[in-house]
């Protein structure tokens, strides 16, 4: 078998599509965001935010120190654990029939609050 070569036009098409993926994800999250929700749904949002923005980084920092990791791998692990929830979680929640309105709120709030938590975690952790 001979290797398949992709022409420049097809490569450029995929480049354009890849650049459009993130804005489309964020627009779908924004479209699914509902400000007023039932109280039962609102209760789960602070738990998810605390787990993602506080518990995960603290657990990661503990594990990094326990395993004596240093340098780039330790920094990457801590930064990765402190970033907000991925926007494609909304699309996945919608596809599997889960509560996509709550997921849109979680994504939005973790993105806004991660500005504070990422700065705090990066400023307080010395590797």
24 found inside a domain: yes
Domain that holds residue 63: 8-124
2 found inside a domain: no
Please tell me the total count of domains within the chain: 1
| 4-23 pLDDT per residue, tens | 666 777 888 888 777 777 67
108 found inside a domain: yes
Q: Whole-model pTM?
A: 0.69
43 found inside a domain: yes
- Helix locations, the chain, DSSP H: 8-32, 39-50, 56-66, 71-82, 88-95, 100-124
3 found inside a domain: no
117 found inside a domain: yes
| 26-81 pLDDT per residue, tens | 666 666 666 666 677 778 889 999 999 999 999 999 999 999 998 889 988 998 99
Whether the pLDDT of residue 98 is over 60: the answer is yes
């Amino acid at each position: 078998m001979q290797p398949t070569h992709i022409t420049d036009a097809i490569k450029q098409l995929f480049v354009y599509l890849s650049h459009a993926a993130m804005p489309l994800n964020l627009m779908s999250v924004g479209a699914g965001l509902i400000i007023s929700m039932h109280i039962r749904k609102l209760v789960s949002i602070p738990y998810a935010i605390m787990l993602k923005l506080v518990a995960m980084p603290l657990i990661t920092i503990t594990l990094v120190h326990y395993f004596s990791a240093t340098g780039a791998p330790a920094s990457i692990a801590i930064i990765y654990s402190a970033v907000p929830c991925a926007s494609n979680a909304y699309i996945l929640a919608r596809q599997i029939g889960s509560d996509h309105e709550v997921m849109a709120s979680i994504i939005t709030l973790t993105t806004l609050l991660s500005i504070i938590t990422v700065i705090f975690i990066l400023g307080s952790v010395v590797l």
